[in-house]
A = this chain, B = another copy of it.
Amino acid sequence: MTTRARREREKRERRRSILQAARELFFENGFHHATVDSVAERAEVSKGTVYLYFVSKETLLAHLLLEGLEALVAELASACAEAAALSADQQLRHLARAYFDFFDRDPQYFPFLMAMDRGKFQESVPAELYEEILQSSLEGLTLAVGVVRRGVDDGVFACPDPEKAACMFWAALNGVLQLMEHPLRREMVGVDKKALYESSVDTLIKGLEGPHADG
């Protein structure tokens, strides 16, 4: 029946709009300062409806995170695939660019990924969901490890421990994104975000190419 299909669609629609409202508000005011009331209001549903779709405020955040991470991983994987034919260092550049593009398009995710660390979060979110998030957040790293490993095999990179090298790479890029996240800090620093990011990629890759890089 069409009715049923439409119902399903409306439900998904509503779920999306709640998630979207939460994304906006959590980002604008920070998770703690956003209220479930305001989420409901912006999503144009009642407060009860929010709880119909998500068991708690924290769970709302968790879904936001998971959704974001899954999208990110998908984009990273596709970037890797596209660059499969290129040299390892070019592939790594592709990966880094995809990473950048993602957070450039959706800068909100960054602070959220960090918010997840705090204690109370784990308690208020179904364990299963939490597990999924951690899994997802590892997948990006796994991709990078693969590329570095290939680079080592191909003689492009000279690092004894590809896993550590990938971590380093990943961490450094996160650092740049985080640093440039805050408008004030961006202004203070007086360097362009994208330019800084690309310099970092170049420097790191250059650092990985020579011998004894990560003893």
Which listed residue, B164, B171, B184, touches A178 by the CB 8 Å rule? B171
Instruction: Encode contact with B along A177-203: 1 for CB under 8 Å, 0 otherwise.
Output: 011111011001111000110011011
Find out whether the CB atom of A164 lies under 8 angstroms from the CB atom of B196.
yes
If A175-B176, A206-B210 touch, whether A117 touches B200 (CB-CB below 8 Å) is no
Could you say which residues of chain B place their CB within 8 Å of the CB of A205? Answer: 207
Known: A137-B188, A167-B179, A199-B213. 11 other contacts (CB 8 A): A29-B120, A114-B114, A161-B191, A165-B203, A168-B196, A171-B176, A171-B180, A172-B176, A199-B215, A203-B204, A203-B207
Residue of B nearest to A195 (CB): B164
- Nearest-CB distance from A166 to chain B (Å)? 9
A172 to B200, CA, bound (A): 8
If A176-B175, A206-B210 touch, whether A200 touches B168 (CB-CB below 8 Å) is yes
Q: Does A54 touch B at the CB level, under 8 Å? A: no
Which listed residue, B30, B114, B172, B213, touches A120 by the CB 8 Å rule? B30
Find out whether the CB atom of A111 lies under 8 angstroms from the CB atom of B117.
yes
- Interface residues, chain A, with chain B CB atoms under 8 Å away: 28-30, 32-33, 111, 114, 117-120, 134, 137-138, 141, 161, 163-165, 167-168, 170-176, 178-182, 184-185, 188-191, 195-196, 199-200, 202-208, 210, 212-215
Residue of B nearest to A213 (CB): B203
Could you say which residues of chain B place their CB within 8 Å of the CB of A182? Answer: 117
